[in-house]
C-alpha cells in the first residue's frame, strides 16, 4: 500500500547546523496494518510522516502509494490519500470556522471544490450522529467556532475530519502528546474505535512505549533516521516494555537512555 | 447647517471607499494578507475607466474592463508571492510601484485626466449628490453595494469560497485537506483587486477625473473602514454579509468624521497624518487589550 524506498532527508546540509533526519529509510506497509512508531527525540518520526504527507520533500528516494510514485507531488494533491492529525491541536482545524464547516471541508478532501453550497442539511445531520459517538457534547455545538474548543475536543474533531473521507492511510503524529492523561486516553480510545470501524491502515507516532505496545499490530522503532526495530504479528502481541528496551539496546548497540517520556 | 450640506457628499465618498474596503477585507481578513497593491490598483481602475470613456466606450463596459485589469494587478502580486516566494507585503509594494508607471502609460503620460459629466454619460457624479433624482449617486451606489455583498456572501459560502476561508484560517489544515492554498491566495488577490479597481473606476467618475495618485494611502482608508466597522459591530454582526456591511458603514462613518474635522478647520494637508493616526490607534487596540486587560484563562469546558 505504502512504500518508502531509500529516503534521505538532511536539514541545513553542509552547514554547522546540519541535521540528518532520515538516512536510507526503507519501509513497506500493507493494507490494514496499524503501525505504531516510537523513537527518541529527533529520531526522525515526524520527518517520516512529513515526507509521506508531502509537507517535506525527500532529498532522494521514492515514496509510492498503491503503485503510484508520489515523491514529487505537492502536499495538497497527496492529501486525497491521507488523513492527518498533528501533535499541536491548533494545527488540524480552522479556528475561525464552525465545527460543521470544518467537517464539510474535510468531507471534500481530494475532490474538486466548485460553486455548490459548501455544506448541506443532510451532511449536518450525519456529522451530528458521528460526533454523538464521541460523547464530548460537540453534537449540540455544530455551529460553534472551533477556536472555542478545548485541545482534546479539537483532536477528536481533527480525527473525525481525517477519517470522514476514508483515507488510504491515517497519519497520527503524537496526537495525544499535548493533552492531559485522561483526555489523551479518551482520544486514544476514539482513535481505536475509528480505526477499527473503518478498517483503516494507520501510522501512529507516540512517545509512550506502553501505548505503542498496546495499540496496533506492528511496531517500528526509529533511531537516527533509520528503522532499527520492526516487530509484527505474535511477537508484537507478546511484547512488553522490558523486552522492547532489551531489543532496542541490541539493535542500536547503545545503552537505553532511561527517558521517562519514552517509558511513559 | 454646513455639516448637513456636506453630509450627502461624505456619505457617497464613504460608500465608494466602502466598496474598496470590501475588496481589502477579502485579503486583510479572509486570507490574512496586508495587500499594498490596492494603492496602485485603485488608480489603475480609475485610469482605465476614464481613458475608455473618453475614447467613447460605453461606461458600463469601461467599468467592467477596469475591474478586469484590476484582476491582473492582483494576479501579479499573487504570482510574486506564491510563485517567486516574495513575502506578501513586499509583493504588493512591488506591484504598487510598477503600477505607478503603468497608470501613467494608461493615462497618456498625464498625471490627471478629466472626464466631465457634461460631455460623457457617467454612472455617478458628485455634482448630483444633493439632488432628489435617480441621478443621485447614493441610489446606484446602494444598489451596487447590496449586489456585491450578496454575491460575495454567496461565493464565500460555496465549496470554493469555504476553501478560501480555510486557507486564511489555517494554512496547515487547508493543505492537509487537499486545498490548493497557493491558487486560493491568488484567487483572493484577484477578486480583491478587481473590486478595488472597480471602486477606483467609480471614484474617478464621481470626482470627474482620474488621478495617478488617487490611490495614495488607499490601504489606510480601507483599513480604517474595516476596523471602525469591527469595533462598532463585531459583537452583533457575526454573519459574513453583515460583516461586509459593517465595513461599508465604517467607511461612511470615516468620511463623516473627516468632514466634521474639516469643518472644524483642519488643514487638508494634514488629512493623511490624521488618517494614519486613527488607523494606528484602532489597530493597536486589540494588542493593548490583550496585554493589559487579559482575563485569566478559563480551561476548556467539557472534553477534559
Ligand atoms: N523543519 C526542520 N528544520 C530543521 N531541522 C529539522 C526540521 N524538522 C526536523 N528537524 C531535525 O531533524 C531531526 C529529526 O526531527 P523529527 O522532528 O523528525 O524528530 P522526531 O522523531 O519527530 O522527534 P520528536 O520526538 O522530538 O518529535 C532532528 O534533528 C530535528 O532537529
Ligand atoms: Mg515529532
B292 belongs to a structural domain: no
Q: What is the pLDDT of residue A257?
A: 62
pLDDT band at B271 (very low <50, low <70, confident <90, very high): confident
Q: Which residue has the higher pLDDT, B6 or A6?
A: A6
**% pLDDT > 70, chain B:** 96
Q: Is A106 in the B-facing interface, judged by CB distances under 8 Å?
A: yes
Give alpha helix (H) positions in B156-239: 159-169, 171-176, 181-207, 218-233
A113/B179 touch (CB, cutoff 8 Å), yes or no:
yes
Our CA-based measurement puts residue B108 at a distance from the nearest CA of chain A, in whole angstroms, of 40
Instruction: Report in angstroms the alpha-carbon separations of B194 from A147, A183, B20, B37, B208.
Output: 32, 48, 9, 11, 21
Residue to mutate among B156, B171, B173, B240, with most A CBs inside 10 A, is B173
Ramachandran angles phi, psi of B114, nearest 5°: -80, 155
Q: Supply the residue whose CA is at minimum distance from atom 8 of ligand 1.
A: A47
- Cα separation of B1 and A244, whole Å? 87
- Cα separation of B215 and A223, whole Å? 58
Asked if the ipTM is above 0.90, the reply is: yes
pLDDT over threshold 80, residue B159: yes
Domain span at B167: 12-215
pLDDT over threshold 60, residue B295: no
- Angle, nearest 10°, between helix axes B2-25 and B240-263? 140
A182/B178 touch (CB, cutoff 8 Å), yes or no:
no
Tell me the pLDDT of chain A (264 aa) as tens digits. 999 999 999 999 999 999 999 999 999 999 999 999 999 899 999 999 999 999 999 999 999 999 999 999 999 999 999 999 999 999 999 999 999 999 999 999 999 999 999 999 999 999 999 999 888 999 999 999 999 999 999 999 999 999 999 999 999 999 999 999 999 999 999 999 999 999 999 999 998 899 999 999 999 999 999 999 999 999 999 999 889 888 888 887 766 665 544 444
Q: How many CA atoms lie within 13 A of A207 on its CB side?
A: 19
Strand partners, B210: B113
SS (H, E, C) B98-132: HHHHHHHHHCCCCCEEECCCCCCCCCCCHHHCCCC
- Cα separation of B282 and B234, whole Å? 14
Q: What is the pLDDT of residue B293?
A: 66
pLDDT over threshold 70, residue B158: yes
SS (H, E, C) B178-193: CCCHHHHHHHHHHHHH
B303/A183 touch (CB, cutoff 8 Å), yes or no:
yes
Do β-strands A169-173 and A82-85 pair in parallel, antiparallel, or remain unpaired?
Answer: parallel
Q: Which ligand is nearest to the CA of A223?
A: 1
Q: State the average pLDDT for chain B.
A: 92
Each residue of B237-276: b (16+ CB within 10 Å) or e? beebbbbbbbbbbbbbbbbbbbbeeeeeeeeeeeeeeebe
Number of domains within chain B = 1
Collect residues with CB below 5 Å from ion ligand 2: A 46
- Cα separation of A100 and A123, whole Å? 9
Domain span at A93: 2-263
Q: What is the pLDDT of residue B166?
A: 98
B284 belongs to a structural domain: no
Each residue of A31-60: b (16+ CB within 10 Å) or e? eebbbbbbbbeebbbbbbbbbbbbbbebee
Rounded to the nearest 5 percent, the helix, strand and coil shares of chain B are 70, 0, 25
Could you count the other beta carbons within 10 Å of the beta carbon of residue B294? 8
Strand partners, A218: A35, A232
A174 CA from centroid of ligand 2 (Å): 7
B20 belongs to a structural domain: yes
Task: Convert the pLDDT of each residue in B164-222 to its tens digit.
Answer: 999 999 999 999 999 999 999 999 999 999 999 999 999 999 999 999 999 999 999 99
Q: What CATH number is given to the structural domain containing A256? A: 3.40.50.300
Lowest mean pLDDT among A74-88, B227-241, B280-294: B280-294
Task: Convert the pLDDT of each residue in A107-149 to its tens digit.
Answer: 999 999 999 999 999 999 999 999 998 889 999 999 999 999 9
Number of domains within chain A = 1
Could you count the other beta carbons within 10 Å of the beta carbon of residue A72? 11
CB of A54 within 6 A of ligand 1: the answer is: no
Q: Which residue has the higher pLDDT, A4 or B265?
A: A4
Ramachandran angles phi, psi of A63, nearest 5°: -125, 125
- Cα separation of B3 and A251, whole Å? 85
State the distance between the two ends of chain B, measured CA to CA, in whole angstroms.
62
Report, as an integer, the average pLDDT of B253-269. 88
Let me know: does B200 contact B103? Beta carbons within 8 Å: no
Contacts of B281 (CB under 8 A, 6+ apart): none
Let me know: does A46 contact A173? Beta carbons within 8 Å: yes
The grid coordinates of residue B78 equal 499573487
Give alpha helix (H) positions in B26-58: 38-54
Q: Is B133 in the A-facing interface, judged by CB distances under 8 Å?
A: no
Q: What is the pLDDT of residue B138?
A: 95
Strand partners, A82: A169
Q: What is the pLDDT of residue A248?
A: 83
Report, as an integer, the average pLDDT of B251-271. 88
Using left for φ > 0, alpha for ψ between -120 and 50, and beta otherwise, residue A216 falls in: left
B97 belongs to a structural domain: yes
B245 belongs to a structural domain: no
Report, as an integer, the average pLDDT of B96-109. 97
A150/B300 touch (CB, cutoff 8 Å), yes or no:
yes
Task: Convert the pLDDT of each residue in A80-97 to its tens digit.
Answer: 999 999 999 999 999 999
Let me know: does A26 contact A51? Beta carbons within 8 Å: no
Amino acid at each position: 500500500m505504502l512504500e518508502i524506498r531509500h529516503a534521505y532527508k538532511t536539514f541545513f546540509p553542509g552547514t554547522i547546523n546540519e541535521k540528518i533526519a532520515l538516512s536510507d529509510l526503507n519501509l513497506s506497509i500493507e493494507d490494514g496494518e496499524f503501525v505504531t512508531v516510537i523513537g527518541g527525540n529527533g529520531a526522525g518520526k515526524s520527518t517520516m510522516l512529513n515526507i509521506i504527507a508531502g509537507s517535506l520533500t525527500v532529498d532522494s528516494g521514492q515514496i509510492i502509494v498503491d503503485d503510484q510514485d508520489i515523491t514529487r507531488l505537492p502536499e495538497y494533491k497527496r492529501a486525497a490519500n491521507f488523513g492527518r492529525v498533528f501533535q499541536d491541536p491548533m494545527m488540524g482545524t480552522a479556528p475561525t470556522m464552525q465545527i460543521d464547516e470544518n467537517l464539510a471541508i474535510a468531507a471534500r478532501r481530494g475532490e474538486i471544490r466548485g460553486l455548490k453550497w459548501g455544506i448541506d442539511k443532510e451532511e449536518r445531520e450525519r456529522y451530528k450522529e458521528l460526533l454523538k459517538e464521541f460523547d464530548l457534547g460537540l453534537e449540540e455545538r455544530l455551529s460553534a467556532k472551533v477556536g472555542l474548543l478545548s485541545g482534546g475536543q479539537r483532536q477528536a474533531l481533527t480525527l473525525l475530519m481525517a477519517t470522514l473521507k476514508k483515507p488510504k492511510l491515517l497519519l497520527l503524529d503524537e496526537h495525544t502528546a499535548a493533552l492531559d492523561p485522561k483526555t489523551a486516553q479518551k482520544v486514544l480510545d476514539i482513535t481505536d474505535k475509528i480505526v477499527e470501524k473503518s478498517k483503516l491502515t494507520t501510522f501512529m507516532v507516540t512517545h509512550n512505549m506502553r501505548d505503542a505496545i498496546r495499540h496496533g499490530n506492528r511496531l517500528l522503532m526509529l533511531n537516527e533516521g533509520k528503522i532499527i526495530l520492526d516487530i509484527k504479528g505474535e511477537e508484537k502481541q507478546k511484547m512488553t516494555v522490558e523486552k522492547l528496551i532489551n531489543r532496542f539496546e541490541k539493535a542500536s548497540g547503545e545503552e537505553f537512555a532511561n527517558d521517562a517520556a519514552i517509558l511513559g | 447647517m454646513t455639516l448637513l450640506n456636506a453630509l450627502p457628499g461624505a456619505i457617497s465618498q464613504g460608500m465608494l471607499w466602502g466598496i474598496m474596503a470590501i475588496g481589502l477585507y477579502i485579503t486583510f481578513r479572509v486570507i490574512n494578507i496586508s495587500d499594498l497593491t490596492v494603492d496602485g490598483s485603485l488608480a489603475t481602475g480609475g485610469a482605465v475607466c476614464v481613458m475608455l470613456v473618453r475614447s467613447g466606450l460605453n461606461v458600463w463596459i469601461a467599468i467592467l474592463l477596469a475591474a478586469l485589469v484590476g484582476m491582473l494587478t492582483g494576479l501579479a502580486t499573487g504570482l510574486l508571492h506564491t510563485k517567486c516566494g516574495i513575502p506578501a507585503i513586499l509583493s504588493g509594494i512591488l506591484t504598487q510601484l510598477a503600477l505607478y508607471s503603468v497608470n501613467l502609460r494608461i493615462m497618456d503620460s498625464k498625471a490627471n485626466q478629466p472626464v466631465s459629466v457634461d460631455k460623457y454619460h457617467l454612472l455617478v457624479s458628485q455634482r448630483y449628490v444633493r439632488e432628489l433624482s435617480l441621478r443621485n449617486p447614493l441610489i446606484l451606489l446602494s444598489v451596487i453595494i447590496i449586489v456585491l455583498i450578496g454575491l460575495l456572501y454567496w461565493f464565500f459560502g460555496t465549496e470554493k469560497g469555504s476553501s478560501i476561508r480555510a486557507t486564511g484560517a489555517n494554512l496547515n489544515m487547508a493543505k492537509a485537506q487537499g486545498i490548493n492554498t497557493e491558487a486560493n491566495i491568488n484567487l483572493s488577490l484577484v477578486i480583491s483587486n478587481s473590486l478595488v479597481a472597480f471602486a477606483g473606476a467609480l471614484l474617478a467618475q464621481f470626482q470627474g477625473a482620474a488621478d495617478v495618485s488617487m490611490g495614495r494611502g488607499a490601504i489606510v482608508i480601507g483599513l480604517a473602514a474595516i476596523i471602525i466597522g469591527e469595533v462598532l459591530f463585531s459583537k452583533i454582526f457575526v454573519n459574513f454579509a453583515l460583516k461586509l456591511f459593517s465595513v461599508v458603514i465604517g467607511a461612511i462613518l470615516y468620511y463623516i468624521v473627516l468632514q466634521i474635522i474639516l469643518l472644524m478647520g483642519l488643514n487638508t494637508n494634514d488629512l493623511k497624518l490624521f488618517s494614519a493616526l486613527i488607523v494606528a490607534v484602532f489597530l493597536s487596540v486589540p494588542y493593548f487589550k490583550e496585554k493589559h486587560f487579559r482575563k485569566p484563562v478559563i480551561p476548556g469546558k467539557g472534553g477534559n
